[in-house]
Structure 1
Amino acid sequence: MRGFTQGFYGYVVALFVCLAGAGLFLLVAPQGRDEHIPRRDYSITVANFGHSVPYGVWAPRQDPPGWVPNSNRIAKGENGAQVLYLGYATAEREHAMFVQSNEQPAAGFASRMANSDKAVGTQQVGEVTWEKRYREDKNQRTLVRILPDVTLVITGTADWPELAELAALLQQRPKG
């Protein structure tokens, strides 16, 4: 019996027992194959943001079909301005984020969110023209709209039509 637990054969037996145990565990453990993206409701964050800024807040009137809102937060921008971030996993499982702030200068805020200050054209969404920016090394596409009281930015790895889909659903909520 002592030869069975020592030396090369003992090592082989111990290895076999460990591998058999691991295989048995993998066989009986549940294996979920479904994709799970956590859904984060942003309605309270948008309402709280609306109470802290002097303008009507912009937000999607509904989520684009197949998109999952998966992050939201309010942060301090430069010069004490409030910044609202709403993040999504798109229907194509790319990333898109809607950001807004009254931070000044507006062009600096837009450039920081886009990681670029170079316009590559425009995108017509309904009757509204958005500036397009693209940063190739990050595969980041951005739509920018600078209004008198707020700057709107939609950015991420999503393609242009997906970003435009989110832009089309934005509406300004009355200050209140």
Structure 2
Amino acid sequence: MSSGGGRANSTLTGYAIVLGAIALIVGAMALVVDARRQEHIPSVDYTADALSLSEIAPYRSYAPEGLPEGWTPTSSRLETGGTLPGEEPTEPIRWTLGFATPEDRHAAFSISDADPDEFVAEVGMNGEPDGESAVDGRTWERRYNEAENERSLVLRADDATLVVSGGASYEELETLAAALEPQEPPQE
């Protein structure tokens, strides 16, 4: 009789050990997921690039102002072709500013006086026309690259091309486009 009770106790002990191990694994996984959810996205200050662009660009420059909470600037790249303030540019001047959106997607604003068709194809990842978006009284061309799931909004101004693009939804891209404000060079 005593051997049957011992077997039952050892079986229950085994189950308890396995359940404890599973609980520890699940708890550890929950901590990792929570820590990742609260990851801090590194933010960049793009003020210097926006100011430099307004000083050297032969076109009206733009920069986002007043984006809603949750938009984090993650990258800023100004390509001046070696142009300094007061000099006449010899190459197209281009600025690309990347963001993490509140929906944890990527969106970027790019502006350049490069050949508009080439610039749109490059920045918009060869997206196909996909309708239009009306943003603050301006009509932006929608483009979509289905293979990459990338969307773009394109505004062709007289002297430059503005492109808002990324894996974000059109609504998020429209939010970024609506935040773009003309920048004036500083007064001397």
TM-score between both structures, scaled by the size of structure 2: 0.72
Moved more, 118-127 or 146-155: 118-127
Aligned length: 146
Of residues 149, 153, 157, the one that matches 1:139 is: 149
In 1, Cα distance between equivalents of 2:67 and 2:179:
8
Q: What is the Cα deviation at residue 118 of structure 1?
A: 2.6
In 2, Cα distance between equivalents of 1:167 and 1:58:
10
Identity %: 35
Of residues 78, 85, 92, the one that matches 1:74 is: 78
1:86 alignment counterpart: 97
Are the counterparts in 2 of residues 56 and 175 from structure 1 also a CA contact under 8 Å?
no
In 1, Cα distance between equivalents of 2:178 and 2:139:
11
1:62 alignment counterpart: 66
In 1, Cα distance between equivalents of 2:47 and 2:66:
11
Which digits, 9 at most, give the CA deviation of each residue in 1:96-137, with x for residues without a partner?
00000111x212211111011531110111211100000011
In 2, Cα distance between equivalents of 1:36 and 1:61:
22
For the residue of structure 2 that corresponds to 1:109, the secondary structure is helix
Moved more, 32-41 or 160-169: 32-41
1:35 alignment counterpart: 39
Unaligned runs of 5+ residues in structure 2 are 1-27, 82-89
1:160 alignment counterpart: 170
1:7 alignment counterpart: none
Are the counterparts in 1 of residues 127 and 151 from structure 2 also a CA contact under 8 Å?
no
1:111 matched to 2:115? The reply is no
Q: What is the Cα deviation at residue 80 of structure 1?
A: 1.8
Partner letter of residue 39 of structure 1?
S
CA RMSD across the alignment: 2.1
In 2, Cα distance between equivalents of 1:156 and 1:117:
11
2:85 alignment counterpart: none
Q: What is the Cα deviation at residue 55 of structure 1?
A: 2.2
1:20 alignment counterpart: none
Of residues 115, 119, 123, the one that matches 2:133 is: 123
Are the counterparts in 1 of residues 53 and 95 from structure 2 also a CA contact under 8 Å?
yes
Runs of 4+ more than 4 Å apart = none
Unaligned runs of 5+ residues in structure 1 are 1-26
